[in-house]
Structure 1
Amino acid sequence: MASTEKSTQRKVALALMAHPDDAEITCAGTLIRLAEQGWETHIATLTGGDCGALTGDAAEVARIRITEGTEAAKLAGATFHCLNEPDGRVVYDRNALQKVIDLFRTIAPTLVITMPMSDYHADHEITGQLGRAASFVFAAPNASTLPLVAGSTIPHLYYCDGHGGTDRLGQKVEPTTRVDITEQLDRKTEMLACHASQREWLRVHNGIDEYLSTMRYYNETRGEECGVPAAEVFIQHTGHAYPTNDLLAELFPLNRSCQSNAIGASTVIGS
């Protein structure tokens, strides 16, 4: 296994998500801030989001949504990737894990944001499991036939917020890390607006019409908890062999004395 020293000489960030638009809802503001500090940034999705539509066959819907994801990523200065697993049917198996390991092998991220281990959507949870597994093993020489990028190591790993700030059972998520995205919120909104195909789907399936204002309201709610206009929150994975210093907090210092307040209604967005 490659060294796990906490080095940030390579500044490469990867957001491993389940569907196109997940990054725009959960962590795009933070990705924008990373890019502004000179980080190479990537957004990858396990699926093309082919079930996130009321009309059109799977291939057509995936094509539209991948195009939307690619355009949104450009607004953050990021590169978009899709691993083409079936939407709504993401499973933790050897084939899916190898795809993620190979992606990590190619990008060699030093900071990874993935989906929560407990969330309303099973695709999100399994994506988080795949992200954790790949982050740990990708730097092992025999984990992939792809060449090993110099400096590959176990990255800083964070899980994004549960949708609506809750886990799969509706219990409030307590973050370890908060990032002020006040100055990035408008561009984050522009990124989410790229996913125009989702408005009708979210209105009918998830019961949400104004998905842009819903996203902004939630980030503002998280921001109120720590005295800033808008924030994204994360839980850092600090298990054995992972870096334990809170890199995001070091890069983007925030008032750490704030106390979380109870969140009101937990609105779920995204698929």
Structure 2
Amino acid sequence: MSNHESIPSRKVALAFMAHPDDAEITCAGTLIRLQEFGWEIHIATVTAGDCGSMDAGPEETARTRTAEGTHAAELIGATYHTLNEPDGRVVYDLQSLQKSIDLFREIAPSLVITMPLSDYHADHEISGQLGRASSFVYAAPNASKKQLLAGSQVPYLYYCDAINGHDRMGHPTSPSTYVDITDQLDLKTEMLACHASQLEWLRSHNGIDEYLTAMREHNYCRGGDIGVHAEEAFVQHRGHGHPTNDLLSELFSANRQANSPPPSLQAIH
């Protein structure tokens, strides 16, 4: 069995997100489980969230949100990073891509969770594109002037669930992988609560009155897909060059991949 078809010896996971709080909404439960399994965890955001306030200016907002992201990561012994690209104006260009590759080079992740390629927010989609491109090329010696760490390789790559489980056009998404986070949901909620500055912003701008409850309800909903209390859902990138075995399901063997019907549907059929 090749290194691409087995659990990697380098246990470093990177959640490469668009904004502070994206990881806590989408994949923090899985990050907690990985940390419990001895993995080194990094949470990175392309932006520092400088547009995430109805009152404060961009510099103050970015400082606040960076501090919130750092605090949330520290709750699980993770390291927080930001590329400081402009919130709401993320673009796929040479500068943003090189900054992303350089960060990957410094971390050398063997597992990457990034944003969905179709979601309600363009920042999410472009961050997913940056995460995908950086995953594939960061270990190429000439891709960055940063030191190439031992164990650098094309990582396992997963896209997190789109918001409310719907793509940019409002169509339901189809996960390939579920991770049971029943026992991690309370700590995940505590991590999201670190982003206190977003309470009024999400209420005013996105029409979300209680973002902690909204996050938990979505995890309950995903849990209902496969008959457990709370789940996070992902789509694995299995394109050429990337590992194709479902690492998350192998690590958390109680998982059921979504390529078979949920238990309720199996009973019907």
Instruction: Indicate whether the TM-score tops 0.5.
Output: yes
CA RMSD of aligned residues (A): 1.5
> Is the partner of 1:203 in helix, strand or coil?
helix
1:117–1:128 contact (8 Å) kept in structure 2: yes
Distance in 1 between residues matched to 2:264 and 2:157, nearest whole Å: 25
Match of 2:52 in 1: 52
Match of 1:138 in 2: 138
Q: Give the drift of 1:5.
A: 6.4
Match of 2:15 in 1: 15
Pairing 1:27-46 to 2, within 5 Å after superposition: 27-46=27-46
Q: Give the drift of 1:209.
A: 1.2
Equivalent residues, number: 260
Match of 1:66 in 2: 66
The TM-score, its normalising length taken from structure 1, stands at: 0.93
Distance in 1 between residues matched to 2:67 and 2:263, nearest whole Å: 37
Pairing 1:187-198 to 2, within 5 Å after superposition: 187-198=187-198
> Is the partner of 2:79 in helix, strand or coil?
strand
**Aligned residue type for 1:116:** P
Superimposed CA distance per residue, residues 169-217 of structure 1 (whole angstroms, 9 cap, x where no aligned partner): 0000000000000000000000000000000000010111111011101
Superimposed CA distance per residue, residues 236-266 of structure 1 (whole angstroms, 9 cap, x where no aligned partner): 000001000000000012244552989xxxx
> Is the partner of 2:101 in helix, strand or coil?
helix
Counterpart among 255, 262, 268 of residue 259 in structure 1: 262
**Structure 1 6/134 Cα, relative in aligned 2: closer, same or farther at 3 Å?**
farther
Pairing 1:100-119 to 2, within 5 Å after superposition: 100-119=100-119
Moved more, 206-215 or 112-121: 206-215
Distance in 1 between residues matched to 2:204 and 2:11, nearest whole Å: 40
1:162 aligns with 2:154: no
Q: Give the drift of 1:130.
A: 0.3
1:4–1:153 contact (8 Å) kept in structure 2: no
**Structure 1 261/232 Cα, relative in aligned 2: closer, same or farther at 3 Å?**
farther
Moved more, 156-165 or 71-80: 71-80
Superimposed CA distance per residue, residues 60-106 of structure 1 (whole angstroms, 9 cap, x where no aligned partner): 00000000000001112210001000000000000000000000000
Distance in 2 between residues matched to 1:232 and 1:261, nearest whole Å: 19
Moved more, 13-22 or 72-81: 72-81
Distance in 1 between residues matched to 2:246 and 2:186, nearest whole Å: 26
**Structure 1 99/260 Cα, relative in aligned 2: closer, same or farther at 3 Å?**
farther
Match of 2:82 in 1: 82
> Is the partner of 1:217 in helix, strand or coil?
helix
**Aligned residue type for 2:145:** T
Moved more, 129-138 or 252-261: 252-261
Give unmatched runs, 5+ long, in structure 1: 263-271
Distance in 2 between residues matched to 1:154 and 1:255, nearest whole Å: 25
Q: Give the drift of 1:6.
A: 4.6
**Structure 1 69/229 Cα, relative in aligned 2: closer, same or farther at 3 Å?**
same
Identity %: 67
> Is the partner of 2:112 in helix, strand or coil?
strand
**Aligned residue type for 1:53:** S
**Structure 1 134/255 Cα, relative in aligned 2: closer, same or farther at 3 Å?**
closer
Superimposed CA distance per residue, residues 136-180 of structure 1 (whole angstroms, 9 cap, x where no aligned partner): 000000000011001100000000000000000000000000000
**Aligned residue type for 1:34:** L
Runs of 4+ in 1 over 4 A off after TM superposition: 3-7
> Is the partner of 2:226 in helix, strand or coil?
coil
Distance in 2 between residues matched to 1:133 and 1:242, nearest whole Å: 12
* Greater helix content: 2
Distance in 1 between residues matched to 2:201 and 2:12, nearest whole Å: 33
